[in-house]
Amino acid sequence: MNLLTGACIIGQSGGPTSVINASALGVIQTALQSEQITRVLGAANGIKGVLNDRLYDMGQEDPKELELLKFTPSSALGSCRYKLADPDADDTDYQRILEIFKKYDVRYFFYNGGNDSMDTCNKISKYMQKVGYECHIIGVPKTIDNDLNGTDHCPGFASAAKYIATSCMEVWQDAHVYDTGMVTVVEIMGRHAGWLTASSGLATWAGFGPNLIYLPETVFDMDSFLADVKAIYEKTGKCMVAVSEGIHYADGQFVSEAETSATDGFGHAQLGGLAVMLADAIKQETGAKVRGIELSLLQRCAAHAASQTDIEESWSAGKAAVEAAVSGITDKMVAFQCSRDGGYQCKTVLEPLDIVANFEKKVPRNWINEAGNGIEQPFIDYALPLIQGETAAPKENSLPRFAKLKKIFTTDME
């Protein structure tokens, strides 16, 4: 078999995570050691870096700094949210990508991201096949939303889940300090899939978590919600609620985008964050002291609470991508195939990009209780093995020591 030889590009796309750089490191380190890969290039800000010829020469980086990527959150190469057009309608971007690939003799392309990123990967792969340019293309999964089709779970989810569960346990402790009544609403990311919000159920399982959990997989009803909260509050004097930002009414409208029945002091309908909105509705219904908390960006890059299992698996996904590509495989995404019977085991497999791109995996309905306001044991059994392990992240002066890359552009070396 004739082995393909040439340069590779690794790009990152979409929202940051605590471990996306571990996947990039798996690609970079494995590619640097491959005899078939002549040069390892990093795309600045994802596919936009390719289009704009802004590529870093990763071979110029200090190996010790690269190693710190395992413990450095966010996207070290820079990210983007850029949707490529249908090549049959407009192939301008694709012609430019092909031009850059030819300029640097790129024969391997690795794209590290979520649903939209796998769509990008898929489109580029199909275009290169159509025009007859030999380039092996592999997607490396990433998303805290855990909604990628074809894989047991996604790199990044476990660390976010661990942070969410830990934070909910800490908030629970704070909310139970005083002998006065209080309701706490915690808003968690997840527009269409509730995996992250379901993770708050790990805190409940541990004894210090939400009484009520609402996911976008079920229809939200405000009257039922207020009745649930009121019943618990009147019985215990406390109530903690976890809500996904994507909860919606029966007509599909996001609760966060709807006008509340509540008004401010001037009679104006209040709009805004979901936690604040629901907190106001609860206060009007119960008269209780209510706090609305939005975890927001904190849940995406909390490397201090990362799962070591997540770090190791993320790195292995990057490594597997390169090994597959140099062996002659293309048009695939690295996925995880796991077993939890008799102990947790996980291995990397390859799935066609076609079945991954633009499909969202939801929390199974039977993992949510019948009332739609809590999590059942199967979710705990699924998620608990993923959050295991404490990181050995290095520190300086008791602060995280993150990677400091030189980021030398190829154009600066010409």
Active site residues: 145
CA-based max dimension of the chain: 76
Bridge partner list, 10: 42, 110
Residue 46, Ramachandran bin (φ over 0: left; ψ between -120 and 50: alpha; else beta): left
> Could you tell me the sign of the dihedral formed by the alpha carbons of 100, 102, 104, 107, in that order?
positive
Q: Which run of H or E residues covers position 397?
A: none
> For residues 49 and 12, what is the distance between their CA atoms, to the nearest angstrom?
10
DSSP string, 90-125: --HHHHHHHHHHHHTTEEEEEEEESHHHHHHHHHHH
**Closest alpha carbon to 12 in 54, 33, 43, 41:** 43
Q: Which residue has the tokens 């903690």?
A: 240
> For residues 170 and 298, what is the distance between their CA atoms, to the nearest angstrom?
14
Other CB atoms within 10 A of residue 207 CB: 8
> Could you tell me the sign of the dihedral formed by the alpha carbons of 272, 154, 142, 98, in that order?
negative
Residues in the chain: 414
Q: Do the beta carbons of residue 65 and residue 33 sit within 8 Å?
A: no
> For residues 161 and 240, what is the distance between their CA atoms, to the nearest angstrom?
18
> For residues 363 and 352, what is the distance between their CA atoms, to the nearest angstrom?
22
> For residues 43 and 357, what is the distance between their CA atoms, to the nearest angstrom?
21
Q: Which residue has the tokens 């800490």?
A: 170
> For residues 66 and 69, what is the distance between their CA atoms, to the nearest angstrom?
5
